[in-house]
A and B are shown apart, each in its own frame.
Chain A
Amino acid sequence: MALDGPKQDFKYIGTRPERPDGWDKVTGKARFGADFSMPGMLHGAILRSPHAHAKIIKIDATKALALKGVKAVVTRADFPEGLEGEDWNIQENVMAGEKALYDGHAVAAVAATSQLIARDALKLIEVEYEVLPHVTDVDKAMAEDAPVIREGAADYSVPEGMHPNVVRYMESGRGDLEKGFAEADLVIEESFTTEAAHQGYIEPHACVANLGADGKGDLWCCTQGHWFVRQMCTAVLGLEATQLRVTPSEIGGGFGGKTTVFIDPVALALSRKAGRPVKLVMSRSEVLRATGPTASASMDIKMGMTKEGKITAASGTFRMQGGAFPGAPVDVTTMLAFANYDIEHVHHVGYDVMTNRPKQAAYRAPGAPMGAFATESVLDELCRGLGLDPIETRLKNAVKEGTPATFGPKFPPVGLIETLEEARAHPNYSVKLGPNQGRGVASGYWMNWGGETSASVAIGDDGSVQVSIGTVDIGGSRASMALMAAEAFGIPYENVRVSIADTGSLGINEPTHGSRATFASGLAIIEASREATRKLCQRAADKWGIDADAVTWEDGCAKPSGPNAGEFDPLTIAEIAAEMGSTGGPISGHHESTPDGFGGSFGTHVVDVEVDPETGRTTILRYLVVQDAGKAIHPAYVEGQFQGGAVQGIGWTLNEEYIYGEDGRLQNPIFLDYRVPVASDLPMIDTVIVEVPNPGHPYGVRGVGETGITPPLPAIANAVRDAIGVRMKKLPLTPPRVLAAIKARD
């Protein structure tokens, strides 16, 4: 949807006011998922498979039900049959059917009068398993002798003869690879792997469910998208969509992992059976074992370059496992792997593979970081091999408006070149490095998202404005929303109150995902505000007895314009609001759409590391994020997205990984062993916001949430390469691995 070109002069946009929910969040008052309770509420707990792959022969809950305080036990038998497609996948994932498909897969659940009793009852449920062979590694899962996770899961795209664990196959590209590689002065071919990383939100999944035997219910939960929760829960339980009202709590992080359901349908099923509200809260180890980490990947990359630094051809094969269900984001990996560059001859092959691991969930720029790790590493090797500067070389190949993307279409205006230029000019890029130190550069892209969106604004009787949106606030977005409403109405930021509406109060909204909230809800707020100001102008026109066309809205006031200019005193929003009831009734504005004008965001990171040659430990010395925000509505929260994304990327590169034992069990399901970055691991994260306006948004906004996690993987690997002289091709770069590489080098 093309609008009249982004606005440029702003009064409130681009300032840094305090967030509206700040007080509640610093005083402990804000209510997150586990902070909600109801009268008569029971507590639930879930029994999980200790086996990676096992047939469930029998579940006997007699003893559990006999325990005092136990009110209900549910198994898959309490869920409807006959679901298909992704609805079936979700049902199967929230409660195992015939087989347990991974360590941690739910097999039964209990509701009891206290959490301790519920947990005790789990130990009394007897499950008889027949243990089956399992596979957790993507390459092994494709091998001929690999155990089959589920027959018939593959879709139309998989050519005959592939292992049944390969469930989707994709191929894309253009040009003539052979010709392209022949034009190169240097061709490099390497293989890479990345491990699964978890989103690691500090708040475990939590909900309170209240479902009656009449099929009407309520659910309070921490989620990125309560309409998604409603759709999934009602599908899994066979309910009518609008009979379930879902209210989101404050959310303690999500990063994509809270765009789906794990415990909510189970809590609803328990509540229906027990006839009372049920609260279900996951423990950290349940989160790590049974919610979605991202996919792991195994990749082969080949790239060619002329000695002047022009990329002549690129090809990549990407194999990804996303657990025991289809859905590894390999489609995005293939699409974005080489998307930074203008490459004539390019080819991608992708495999979506099933293994005995938890169903992967979206994680910040799903699919992009793995591919970037591999391709930006090879690009770095090409630069080294040809003695070229990594930023100059990227500039030589960078896409810009009109460049045909490696995935097909021509790019609209984008800011890759601007981020590279800013990175080159930044003082970090010229700091002199010491011994055992190295510098790495990498760029990354995320195409962003629009999505179904609905928003309302309503004028209060004192002229203040109530904004209702359906995208939950996960990182301070209420501040940005209030800024956009303030700008559109021309009223102070403080006069706007933003609420997140429940599913009973607004039309469908997709989750806060895909870096869409500020773009799409913001756009809806601006349009809804414009509708409201048109009505405000009409009221003023009626009062003055002139045509509404002859009234304009400016600085929070209706003003006569054209021939009537100056004829009447402007009417403020408060003055018009005070008389609403007697001049035609309440005034509100509404907007709904699935906006398509989202513009992608490029970023370039520069990182300096020091590697301890004795221990192999990598320390980040300085870190720079440069990224295109289109227009930063609230720059502090834009910087926050850059910094948070970078640090999650640092964790994925240096420490974080899913470690499975021979028995197929997750060996590190607590934060002590699944180690996310802590304050003492890090320096300050420097940021530069580039603003190349997005023509698809009235204020030029581009989503900024996801791009930032993509460049860190290759940037750090490139820096470590610079420091130790060895290319690391397997993530994470744990001290033992780096140390082994140093030893092998010497």
Chain B
Amino acid sequence: MVQVHLWSGLRPLVDGREVVEVEGETVGQLLDNLVKDYPGLKPAIDKGVSISVDGQIIPKSRGVKVKDSSEVFLLQRLYAG
């Protein structure tokens, strides 16, 4: 299981939890499982989120590998500018 840290605006959608645990070996699997296990997050994830894995911000690559020990944060969807 990977620990996924949520920004505080998301916490009300998952009963106030700051961190949720989901299965997944890639960013894409994490996002899919987050929606499956925590349906409250669906509108946010559908709208688009970015994710960081071990400090690297991943705007949209679903294939990036994730380990159980990885530090993972959901972030507001980022764009370039």
Residues of chain A at the chain B interface (Cβ within 8 Å): 155-157, 169-174, 256, 259, 329, 331-332, 334-335, 347, 362-367, 407-412, 447, 449-451, 510-511, 513-514, 516, 594, 596-598, 696, 706
Question: By the criterion CB–CB under 8 Å, are A363 and B81 in contact?
Answer: yes
Given contacts A171-B9, A514-B80, contact A596 B47 (CB under 8 A): no
A329, A335, A411, A706: most-surrounded residue (chain B CB, <10 A): A335
Complex Cα distance, B5 from A411, in Å, reads: 15
Question: By the criterion CB–CB under 8 Å, are B71 and A155 in contact?
Answer: no
Question: By the criterion CB–CB under 8 Å, are B61 and A410 in contact?
Answer: no
Given contacts A156-B44, A331-B77, A364-B81, contact A449 B7 (CB under 8 A): no
Residues of chain B within 8 A of A412, CB atoms compared: 55-56
Query: What is the CB-to-nearest-CB distance from B21 to chain A, in angstroms, rounded to a whole number?
Result: 17
Question: By the criterion CB–CB under 8 Å, are A596 and B58 in contact?
Answer: yes
Residues of chain B within 8 A of A409, CB atoms compared: 52, 54-55, 57, 71, 73
Question: By the criterion CB–CB under 8 Å, are A156 and B81 in contact?
Answer: no
Q: Whose C-beta in chain A lies nearest to the C-beta of B74?
A: A408
Complex Cα distance, B47 from A170, in Å, reads: 13
Judge whether B59 is part of the interface by a CB distance below 8 angstroms: yes
Name B76's contact: one of A170, A514, A597 (CB within 8 Å).
A170
Beyond the given pairs A335-B75, A696-B56, 19 more chain A to chain B contacts, judged by CB atoms under 8 angstroms and listed by A's residue number, are: A157-B44, A256-B81, A259-B81, A331-B77, A331-B78, A332-B76, A332-B81, A364-B81, A365-B81, A366-B81, A409-B55, A409-B71, A412-B56, A447-B78, A449-B80, A514-B80, A594-B60, A596-B57, A596-B64
Complex Cα distance, B44 from A405, in Å, reads: 22
Return 21 A-B CB contacts under 8 Å, by A number: A171-B8, A171-B9, A172-B8, A174-B8, A335-B78, A365-B81, A367-B81, A407-B7, A408-B7, A408-B52, A409-B52, A409-B71, A412-B55, A447-B78, A451-B59, A514-B79, A594-B61, A596-B56, A596-B57, A596-B59, A706-B81
Complex Cα distance, B81 from A685, in Å, reads: 24
Question: By the criterion CB–CB under 8 Å, are B9 and A408 in contact?
Answer: no
Sorted from nearest, which 7 A-B pairs have the closest CB atoms? A514-B80, A408-B73, A156-B43, A366-B81, A331-B76, A409-B52, A171-B9
Q: Whose C-beta in chain A lies nearest to the C-beta of B57?
A: A447
Residues of chain B within 8 A of A256, CB atoms compared: 81
A156, A334, A347, A510: most-surrounded residue (chain B CB, <10 A): A156
Complex Cα distance, B80 from A365, in Å, reads: 8
Complex Cα distance, B81 from A618, in Å, reads: 30
Complex Cα distance, B77 from A44, in Å, reads: 37
Q: How many A-B residue pairs have CB under 8 A?
A: 94
A174, A409, A412, A450: most-surrounded residue (chain B CB, <10 A): A409
Question: By the criterion CB–CB under 8 Å, are A332 and B57 in contact?
Answer: no
Residues of chain B within 8 A of A259, CB atoms compared: 80-81
Query: What is the CB-to-nearest-CB distance from A313 to chain B, in angstroms, rounded to a whole number?
Result: 15
Query: What is the CB-to-nearest-CB distance from A527 to chain B, in angstroms, rounded to a whole number?
Result: 16
Complex Cα distance, B78 from A241, in Å, reads: 24
A173, A362, A447, A596: most-surrounded residue (chain B CB, <10 A): A596
Name B80's contact: one of A172, A173, A408, A513 (CB within 8 Å).
A513
Query: What is the CB-to-nearest-CB distance from B35 to chain A, in angstroms, rounded to a whole number?
Result: 13
Residues of chain A within 8 A of B71, CB atoms compared: 409-410
Complex Cα distance, B61 from A256, in Å, reads: 23
Question: By the criterion CB–CB under 8 Å, are A450 and B7 in contact?
Answer: no
Residues of chain A within 8 A of B81, CB atoms compared: 256, 259, 329, 332, 362-367, 449, 513-514, 706
Given contacts A408-B5, A696-B56, contact A451 B80 (CB under 8 A): yes
Residues of chain A within 8 A of B57, CB atoms compared: 409, 447, 596, 598
Given contacts A256-B81, A332-B78, contact A172 B44 (CB under 8 A): no
Residues of chain A within 8 A of B58, CB atoms compared: 596
Question: By the criterion CB–CB under 8 Å, are A172 and B64 in contact?
Answer: no
Given contacts A156-B44, A408-B5, A447-B57, contact A511 B80 (CB under 8 A): yes
Query: What is the CB-to-nearest-CB distance from B45 to chain A, in angstroms, rounded to a whole number?
Result: 10
Q: Whose C-beta in chain A lies nearest to the C-beta of B47?
A: A155
Residues of chain B within 8 A of A363, CB atoms compared: 81
Residues of chain B within 8 A of A510, CB atoms compared: 80
Complex Cα distance, B7 from A24, in Å, reads: 50
Within 8 A of A (CB), among B15-68: 43-44, 47, 52, 54-61, 64
Complex Cα distance, B41 from A320, in Å, reads: 25
B5, B43, B58, B80: most-surrounded residue (chain A CB, <10 A): B80
Residues of chain A within 8 A of B52, CB atoms compared: 408-409
Name A516's contact: one of B47, B75, B80 (CB within 8 Å).
B80
A155, A363, A365: most-surrounded residue (chain B CB, <10 A): A155
Query: What is the CB-to-nearest-CB distance from B76 to chain A, in angstroms, rounded to a whole number?
Result: 4
Complex Cα distance, B73 from A363, in Å, reads: 26
Complex Cα distance, B52 from A128, in Å, reads: 51
Query: What is the CB-to-nearest-CB distance from A201 to chain B, in angstroms, rounded to a whole number?
Result: 15
Question: By the criterion CB–CB under 8 Å, are B56 and A407 in contact?
Answer: no
Q: Whose C-beta in chain B lies nearest to the C-beta of A414?
A: B55
Query: What is the CB-to-nearest-CB distance from A1 to chain B, in angstroms, rounded to a whole number?
Result: 8
Q: Whose C-beta in chain B lies nearest to the C-beta of A597?
A: B56
Question: By the criterion CB–CB under 8 Å, are A170 and B55 in contact?
Answer: no
Residues of chain B within 8 A of A170, CB atoms compared: 7, 9, 76
Residues of chain B within 8 A of A511, CB atoms compared: 80
Residues of chain A within 8 A of B54, CB atoms compared: 409-410
Question: By the criterion CB–CB under 8 Å, are B9 and A157 in contact?
Answer: yes
Residues of chain A within 8 A of B8, CB atoms compared: 171-174, 347
Query: What is the CB-to-nearest-CB distance from A250 to chain B, in angstroms, rounded to a whole number?
Result: 21
